[in-house]
A and B are shown apart, each in its own frame.
Chain A
Amino acid sequence: MALVPDTLPDPQPTVWFCSHCGSHEDTEDDATPSRVCDDCGLGVLLETRADIAPREDGAFLVLDHNLAVCAVSAAAERLLATSETEAVHRHLTQLLVPADAEASAPVNLASAVTWAANGDDASHTVTVRPATTFGIRLTARIAHCSPPRAALLVFD
């Protein structure tokens, strides 16, 4: 019956991870799934592509389409010398700024975050540095996560 081949790409496998500790959770086993992480209790579970998902105890941020910080993982709190409660609702550029002078125009930090937060499935790699620190360059992958729609910025 497959007269017309399916032109859509195979859906990417996804995982659920905690917005605070990064641990991966299998939500299908729970009879009454909670959005709160069972391991640390300090983060909510978000879904993203398996190849992009942060590792456990990884450093990452979650941002909305206004480039406002929505979540800061425990490792990112240490890396950026901030706390989630302080960073939430602040603009991304108060924490991170682009640090790749040779970057070509199409993909920069702001546009990559905006695209991801609007649901773009592609992932982008950018180079950034902490806003208050010079001489440090961090590579970060940016991709979509949900729910609700947001951008996930994972430090490599």
Chain B
Amino acid sequence: MLNVSPNTLRAWERRFGFPKPQRSPGKHRLFTHGEVAALRDALQEGLSISSAVSRAREGLAADSNSLVGALVSFERDRADAAIEAALALRSVERSVEEVLLPTLDEIVRRQGTDSAAWAFAAHWGADWLRRAMRLAPPPIRPVSIVLGDASRDELDPDAPYIRALELFCVRSGISVLSLSARGVSGIGDAISVHQPNLVVLAGGYLSDDTVARWAYAVRLAAGAMPVAVYRRGDQRVRMRTTGTSVLPGGAGEAQRRLLELVETDQAATPAREPASPAEHGAGAESAPHRRATGTDGP
């Protein structure tokens, strides 16, 4: 489309930060059609690569602006159309990260969390993310996580990020069980059904005591396992729980970091719990869930 070599595209990525590729599982660069098409069109009338990149970026940012306009005008159909337009040029992940979440942030910044505009936008965003989740393929990875939601409610500005992380995990084939961190009673049943590899504590609204009580209940049910913290706020990143990792604030980065944590833990597990060949064979079906025998509940 651009009629340039891969080296040139890499040089543009270094110098201009555009087009910005995603990575395939094999670490190959994956450029979105939208960015490349926008750059191709801008190059036709550009006097330099810089000005073409700038123009292409402006064109792509228009999606975000139109979504902001639709949401602050309380126009659901227009908002749906704006996100559909973004999806025509980007993957679901990039549409969420580059259009939906920045749009919601912008509305919080402009109108505040106590505004009707934010109430409408937050509800629309949560609804859209739920719809996207329903369209996600079934889990294919041998990875399962439990997400303890410590956000206030739908109006919590962290809530869309938590839903986005959940969506990205589900779309990458991870099995996710999302539970409010307020609900401690019966958590053992949930853990025994889900058999997670990792626990994520997400959101900064609930107090440390409440979250710690929930995490303790999970630990009693499932035994020791990696714990990651997502959007708990800078002041509370130092948790006393050993082995807690703090995930980056961006949903995409956080999902990639989660996968790394699980892979690291799975690689370390044989060293900690050497399994006999017989156990290995018998446990093949439950191999994805390394605590298949540790789910008796508290």
Contact = CB atoms under 8 A, between A and B. Distances in A.
Contact of A85 (B5, B16, B43, B47): B16
Contacts of B47: 19, 44, 46, 62, 64, 70-71, 148, 150
B51 interface: yes
Nearest to B15: A42
Given A35-B43, A36-B43, A89-B54, A41 B48 contact: no
B5 A41 contact: yes
Contacts, number: 65
Contacts of B5: 41
Nearest to B48: A71
Interface string A54-69: 0000000010100000
Contacts of B54: 88-89
Nearest to A73: B48
A36 B49 contact: yes
Interface in A65-90: 70-72, 84-85, 88-89
Interface string B3-26: 111011001100110000000000
A36 B11 CA distance: 12
Given A36-B4, A36-B43, A85-B16, A19 B11 contact: no
Interface residues on B, range: 20 to 34
Interface residues on A, range: 20 to 34
A88 B58 CA distance: 14
A34 interface: yes
B44 interface: yes
A115 B52 CA distance: 23
B7 A71 contact: no
Contacts of B45: 147-148
A130 interface: no
A22 interface: no
Contacts of B210: none
A66 to B, nearest CB: 12
A150 B12 CA distance: 23
A29 to B, nearest CB: 15
B11 to A, nearest CB: 5
Contacts of B4: 34, 36, 41
16 contacts: A19-B48, A32-B3, A34-B3, A34-B4, A35-B43, A36-B2, A36-B3, A41-B4, A41-B11, A41-B12, A42-B11, A70-B47, A85-B50, A88-B50, A89-B51, A148-B45
